[in-house]
A and B are shown apart, each in its own frame.
Chain A
Amino acid sequence: MDHTAHTVPAGVWPEGLTRVPYWVYHDQEVAKDEQARVFEGPAWNYLCLDIDVPNPGDYRTTYMGCMPVVVARAEDGSIVAFENRCAHRGALICLDDGGNVKDFHCVYHAWRYDLRGNLKSVAFRHGVNGKGGMPDDFQMDAHGPRQPRVAVLCGLVFATLDPSAPDIEAYIGPEIVARIRRVLKKPVEIIGRFTQPLPNNWKLYMENVRDTYHASLLHLFFTTFRITRLSQGGGVLVGENGVGHASATMGAPAQDDKSYQGMRSEQDGFRLADPTLLDSEDEFKDGIQLQILSVFPGFVLQQIHNAIAVRQVLPRGVGSTDLNWTYLGFVGDTPDLRAKRLKQANLVGPAGFVSMEDGCVGGFVQRGSAASGSEMSVIEMGGSGAETQETRATEASVRGFWKAYRAHMGL
């Protein structure tokens, strides 16, 4: 991308990863730079699942940042993507969430594209009765929507517009790829799909996802029912370049845990009337109760007991974000395990016992920091680095996000 970062709006951004100025969540110019340098840059964007487009001609529409994208299955079975923008006047080519087509037609002037987004015909190209039409030297292959590179990893479809971006596994990092394979080891089935519009900048949600420090403090449901406490075993992996992170929480809460004494999140008297909500199966056979994994800029894979979901985080303007939830099961789930997933889905999503606060807390920061663009947040739990740590009482992974962000943005 030939795009120069503009002058930062207020104050400088000190070197290092422990301070983040609030203007990054509020500034329109920063948002434009992100579109160019991250979403249309060398980052890999999560688009959809391969099972969203199982057969040739199947397509699904989504976004890379604010850029509309069509994902399609080509005749040869490969998954391809192209910008959802007609080469003629810029109208959307596809108007639905998905479907099956032989080829794509823009409704405006009927320009026609193949499944890969190559322009194949122009209506009235040679005019009518010898009059009008396009110039004789019009080259169809010189016009067409942009076609990002596509990679499929464990059924997850990613794309980048930068031909020089590293391949997907090198981008994410081997230790994080292994954690994706741990969960997505079998063919999946979609069991629900919801969108949660968030009243905050997209980065605040991604920081929240990587913030292992907040989980048992903000989310009282977790703490109260001992689903997770920071004193349980676990830790956080952060990839070398900060792009990927995976936090893990091991089962079996510590007994006589006093580390929360006196905090708001300690309410030991509270018990479920129907404890079957938390009946779960160690389906991955490794004792990991929770794994939250993210890939910069906007992908999240979640395993909370048997509640498995992917989340796609898309900016919708500087102060709003779409969080797209896809709840998953595996093909061949027993009825009992599937029933557990449906009950445990109560923990997550827009009405999730554990995740509903994540829907509003980013908005609290967005509103709280509205008048303090030159001030900075403090991200020093667990030191100043972004390395893997064997504790979750750390903000190492949040610093990893900023490591990847600053590298992409040149800030």
Chain B
Amino acid sequence: MAAEALFRLINLNAAYAACIDADRLEAWPDFFEEACLYKVTSADNHKRGYAAGIMYADSKAMLKDRVSALREANIYERQRYRHIVGMPVVLSAADGVTVAETPFLVIRTMREGQMDVFVTGVYLDRVRNAADGAARFLERVVVCDSSRFDTLVAIPL
């Protein structure tokens, strides 16, 4: 069971990263349940119990709005991410829900080619494993190691 939970998580994380990095953002909300929590915060805010994030969504529809805003409304210089996602640590797997944490690294490449280590951190996840084999996030809290976010964060992490 534990091996299967780990395998599903690795697949889910790989697909999630590929979706964002290949700019298939319209498919990104589909990694989440309809009622979900997606939050981008930092280790310091997380430790202090500060509830606000720089991105905060409690529904899949809010994630869709993020994507619509990026496509239709927001202005930012062309850029892309490369997610490097580490091995998940499975904390528990019971009743169809896996609780895990997974380290990640995002390199940002700007329009003119400048590359930076943009964010590193850990995903704190609760994943529902549906009967049809699909795994979706009930909760993905993106805990960034630093509270500094250079210039702007447009594309989700």
Q: Which residues in A have some Cβ–Cβ distance to B below 8 Å?
A: 190-199, 218, 220-221, 224, 267, 270, 272-274, 276-277, 327, 338, 341-343, 345-346, 349-353, 356-357, 359-361, 363
- Decide if B45 touches A193 in the complex (CB within 8 Å): yes
Find residues 60-94 in chain B having any chain A CB closer than 8 Å to their own CB. Answer: 61-62, 64-65, 68-69, 72-77
The contact of A192 among B51, B58, B62, by CB within 8 Å, is B51
- The contact of A196 among B62, B69, B152, by CB within 8 Å, is B152
B102 an interface residue at 8 Å Cβ cutoff? no
Q: How far is the CB of A395 from chain B (nearest CB, A)?
A: 20
Within B127-157, the residues touching A (CB, 8 Å) are 147-154
Assembled-state Cα–Cα distance A276/B35 (Å)? 13
* Contact-size category for B: 35 or more
A191 to B54, CA, bound (A): 11
Tell me, rounded to whole Å, the shortest Cβ–Cβ distance linking A303 to chain B.
15
Does A220 contact B152, Cβ atoms closer than 8 Å?
no
B55 within 8 Å of A (CB atoms): yes
10 A-B pairs with the lowest CB-CB distances in the bound complex, closest first: A192-B52, A274-B61, A359-B152, A350-B149, A273-B61, A220-B73, A351-B153, A356-B152, A351-B54, A191-B52
Given A194-B149, A346-B55, the answer on whether A273 and B76 have CB atoms closer than 8 Å is: no
14 new A-B contacts, CB < 8 A, other than A221-B74, A270-B73, A341-B52, are A192-B45, A194-B45, A194-B54, A194-B147, A196-B150, A221-B73, A272-B61, A273-B68, A274-B65, A327-B52, A342-B51, A351-B55, A351-B154, A360-B76
Q: Which residues of B contact A221 (CB under 8 A)?
A: 69, 73-74
Q: Which residues of B contact A338 (CB under 8 A)?
A: 51
Tell me the minimal C-beta distance from B59 to chain A in angstroms: 5
Contact of B40 among A191, A351, A361 (CB under 8 A): A351
| B103 interface residue per 8 A CB criterion | no
Q: How far is the CA of A272 from the CA of B73 in the complex (A)?
A: 12
Shortest C-beta distance, B88 to chain A (Å), equals 25
Contact (Cβ within 8 A) A345 B56: yes
- Does B41 have its Cβ within 8 Å of any Cβ on chain A? yes
Given the contacts A193-B50, A197-B150, A360 and B68 also touching, CB distance less than 8 Å: no
Task: Say yes or no: B52 contacts A345, CB within 8 Å.
Answer: yes
Q: Is the CB of A343 within 8 A of B58?
A: yes
Cβ contact of B68, chosen from A191, A270, A361, cutoff 8 A:
A270
B42 within 8 A of A: yes
A334 to chain B, nearest CB (A): 14
Closest to B62 in A: A274
Show 18 A/B contacts (Cβ-Cβ < 8 Å), sorted by A. A191-B50, A192-B41, A192-B51, A194-B42, A194-B148, A196-B151, A197-B150, A197-B151, A199-B151, A270-B73, A273-B65, A274-B62, A342-B52, A346-B56, A349-B54, A356-B154, A357-B76, A360-B151
